[in-house]
Amino acid sequence: MLNMITLLNLPGDSTAMDMVPQEVAGADIYIVMAVTLIVWGGIFFYLLYLNGKLKTLRKKVDTIERK
């Protein structure tokens, strides 16, 4: 179990973020944003693909029901 005192950022304590240069820490957010956009874009285009497949299946079902 974590000790609650270790979770506090006391003055004079160095944390992992203090050791990372600011330019590197600021660039990480852009990497996270790029990966997130790629994932959401993939989901969006997959849903468009499924929508097209669903339309063709509906047309086939409608033609079979009319016969």
Rounded Cα distance, 66 and 21, in Å: 69
Q: What is the pLDDT of residue 33?
A: 96
Domain ranges, ordered by start, for the chain? 20-66
Collapsed DSSP state (helix, strand, coil) of residue 12: coil
pLDDT of residue 7: 54
Amino acid (one-letter) located at 55: K
The per-residue pLDDT for range 7-49, each reduced to its tens digit, is 555 556 556 556 666 766 678 899 999 999 999 999 999 999 9
